[in-house]
Amino acid sequence: MLRDSVTAGSADRAARGRAARKRVSRSAHGTWIPAADRPDPVGVLQRQGRDRLQELLPVRYGRMAASPAAFLRGAAAVMAADLAAQPHTGLTVQLCGDAHLLNFGLHAAPERARSLLFDLTDFDETFPGPFEWDVKRLAASVAVAARENGHGEDHVFAAARAAAGHYREAMRRLARQGELTVWYQHIDADLLLPLVRSGRRRRRAEATLTRARRRTSLHALGKLVETVDGRPRIVHDPPLLEPAGTLDLAALRKIFSDYRSTLSEERRLLLDRYRFVDAARKVVGVGSVGVRCFIVLLAGRDADDPLLLQIKQAGRSVLEEHLPSGPYLHPGRRIVAGQRLMQAAGDIFLGWTTGPEGRAFYWRRLRDTKGCADIAGMGPGELRRYAGLCGTALARAHARSGDRIAIAAYLGGADTFDRALAEFALRYADRTAADHTALGAAVLAGVIPATPGI
């Protein structure tokens, strides 16, 4: 589907984009109303937790109950159902599937130099679908964050509008550029600094970038690994980080070998220069809590040459039940392929495998992501500028897979789409606050177990 959409001439592609306005006008995106048969959000979360580690679900619910923004982070499945209940443009891209503000951040360029890129950083829900679903999730997260920061409604609207507006403007620029130029587009991390106008906060941002460039495997080693009886071991920090049991270690060694076969030949050669040392179970994120996740410690030339990999269970994307089938049956391969397609410079150790009981997993380098912005500390102007940068990064990611000419033609030169998305974001922020309240009520009633503060 993605390939067929970009083989026609530019004029035909632009006409296809303008024709999509007949299916869904640009202004119609702002008129979101919850469906009459909208699923209970708490029930959606409970169903999602059935194949997760049950002892960790209270941590997940406790984290989500902390605030509306935390709820939105963990409620990608809830929002997917809401988006699916509305008409869509039919202009398909490789979606992130979870493009909220905190899934943008810094990561290292693959050549391992001091170069840092700003990009999407989480792809667990990636799947082909209508481009506007990612833009709506981004805009909604901006609105929720702005309200939590105490910004007035005019500023909330302006920040959400900036995310959509910069997406539109970036897509229109990309539509005028050649294929290789678009493919090699990237956003250097230094572009973050002009977003910060305050002298004090700018100095903090510069220090953050400096620390991020220094964060290497040795830095992670100091925090996650200790020496026991002269041998390196991953630290014990329950319930967030616990040693893998004997059965888990045996399974991880087996699937490590299987994972190796999904890498290209030169990367297999590189991986073969490391030896398996230790592994531990790790709790990650908000939405992913309860998903089986391990970190694996490998050693290269010596103990001062470590490689930390993360292996994480891969399930169905929250988008899959609402969209046509994707090209990959293996969930781990779906995530790896989606990340390679969307990120400007991908992780060289991305791979996938099947583990015990037929569960799918994917592998990646641990801590290639070097950090994300301090959203809670942003004033109205800074949040608006940061939201715009996220919109630009999202457009770049979409342009690699979708028909950027058709999408640009649909969006047009006016700000109709931007304003509509901002209106949607405010309405969805209201809905998120109500859903967060419902989760809190379920916790108080004992329907949902929650462990706060972990």
Q: What is the pLDDT of residues 183-227, one digit of tens each?
A: 999 998 777 767 766 666 667 666 666 666 666 555 556 678 888
Place of tokens 């779906």: 334
For position 206, what pLDDT does the model report?
A: 65
Phi, psi of 302 (to 5 degrees): -160, -170
Which 3 state secondary structure label does DSSP give 240?
coil
Name the one residue in this structure whose structure tokens are 């443009």.
89
- What is the tens place of the pLDDT at every residue in 94-123? 999 999 999 998 877 765 445 788 999 999
Predicted local distance difference test score (pLDDT) of residue 238: 87
Amino acid at 99: A
Full DSSP string of 300-350: SSSTTSEEEEEEEEE---TTGGGS---S-SSHHHHHHHHHHHHSSS--TT-
> Can you give the pLDDT at residue 271?
95
Q: What is the pLDDT of residue 276?
A: 92
| Pairwise CA distance, residues 282 & 295, whole Å | 7
Assess contact for 316 and 255: CB atoms under 8 A. no
Amino acid in the structure at residue 55: E
Please choose, from the candidates 338, 386, 419, 392, the residue with its C-alpha nearest in 3D space to the C-alpha of residue 102: 386
pLDDT at site 381:
94
The number of angstroms, rounded, from the C-alpha of 280 to the middle of its chain's C-alpha atoms is 23
Contacts 24+ apart (CB under 8 A), 203-208: 208/371
Task: Tell me the C-alpha distance between 274 and 272, whole Å.
Answer: 5
Alpha-helix runs per DSSP H in 149-238: 153-175, 179-183, 199-214, 217-224
In eight-state DSSP terms, residue 31 is: -
Phi, psi (deg, nearest 5) at residue 108? -80, 145
Ranges under pLDDT 50 in the chain: 1, 112-113
pLDDT score of 396: 98
At 1 the pLDDT is 45
Q: Which amino acid is at 165?
A: G
